[in-house]
Amino acid sequence: MLLFLPNHLTYDVVFIVAALLAIGSALGVVLSGNPFHSSLSLILNLVALATLYLLLQSDFLAAAQVIVYAGAVMIMFLFVTAYLGGRADEPTVSRPPWQTAAALVAAVALASEIIFAVGRHSLGAGPLVPDSFGSPQNISVSFLGRYLLAFEATSIMLMIAAVGAVVLGSRRAAPREPGDRDPFERDEPARERSVQSQVMDIETHFEVHHTGVGADQEGDG
Amino acid sequence: MEVGVEYFIAVSAILFGIGLFGIFTRRSPLILLLSVEIMLNSCNLALIAFARHAGQTAGQTFALVVMAVAASEVVIGLGLAVAMARRRANLDVDTLRSLRN
């Protein structure tokens, strides 16, 4: 790829493209009104981040990012978005404008603070590391050796999450006292019946006469 | 231009800010989860960049832990969203204040 460029320039070009893609798709996630489009933008964001991981010589994490995130987590997200349908859309009530402005100020302040703090030092590209820096062997030696406790805690957390998802997804409704109102219920005013339906009701209302004979005949049949 | 670790940290900070903006401004729980994903991934990028800077694998190891945390959080969050939708709830985080009942 990009064979006509010198080696370090290739690195720069790939970095710039991946960084712009990551930032643009993240903006797409936040600003898009449609949850489906947001999810698709996040997939693009994750793939761009995997490219950045590759530039940092973290091969295994880049692969895990694409497989676990873009492959598994986001597919689940898309399934749930499709299951919820229109209910997943953004509620149309508008926020007060000062809230958006305050969010913008907070986000810009935080990001620029970090950038100023880090940008004052030239960290450089780091020491030269062997090609096996981000290999599965290296990471597993560290994960299953020195950080074994973190590994076990992670596995327990994943199991708790799985059990919690099963409990949340079970069909049984929560026990409720009689007369309690569902706190999530929408307040809908009782519908008034239209004149047309009332007239239809009167017109199709026939008197039924019970003769007393029909009941016995039904039983015989 | 020499792309050093600080450029990756800058990208990570911008992504974190975007995620924060999303958390503050959006109301749909699904999009809030997506914004949290952006923030967690920006932290992952910072971890991996500093791991490269230090020349050690500890940062990458912890990035894996963060991925597992993100996956669990998505599972629980989506479960909650589906459970609320099943009760014909309005999926608006401003009106969903209590988890009980």
Chain A segment 50-79 residues within 8 A of B by beta carbon are 52-53, 55-58, 60-61, 64-65, 68-69, 72-73, 76-77
| Interface residue A221 vs chain B (CB under 8 A) | no
Most A CBs within 10 Å, among B27, B39, B43, B48, to test the A interface: B48
Q: Which residue of A has its CA nearest to B24?
A: A103
DSSP B2-69: ---HHHHHHHHHHHHHHHHHHHHH---HHHHHHHHHHHHHHHHHHHHHHHHHHT-SHHHHHHHHHHHH
CB-nearest to A56 from B8, B14, B79 is: B8
Helix intervals (H) in chain A:
7-31, 35-55, 59-64, 74-84, 97-119, 136-141, 148-169, 195-203, 214-220
**Which one has a higher pLDDT value, A18 or A187?**
A18
Please state the φ and ψ torsions of residue A123, each to the nearest 5 degrees. Answer: -80, -20
The whole-number pLDDT of residue A94 equals: 66
Identify all chain A residues contacting B22, using CB atoms and an 8 Å cutoff: 29-30
pLDDT in tens, A73-83: 899 889 988 88
Contact B76/A168, CB-based, under 8 Å? yes
Identify the sign of the CA torsion A113, B22, A80, A163: positive
The whole-number pLDDT of residue A121 equals: 76
CB-nearest to A126 from B52, B82, B90 is: B52
Rounded mean pLDDT, A67-77: 88
| Interface residue B93 vs chain A (CB under 8 A) | no
| Interface residue B66 vs chain A (CB under 8 A) | no
Instruction: Measure in Å the smallest separation between the Cα of B16 and chain A Cα atoms.
Output: 7
The answer to whether residue A184 scores a pLDDT higher than 70 is no
Q: Which residue of B has its CA nearest to A45?
A: B38
- Gap between the Cα atoms of A60 and A136, Å rounded: 6
pLDDT in tens, A31-42: 887 888 999 999
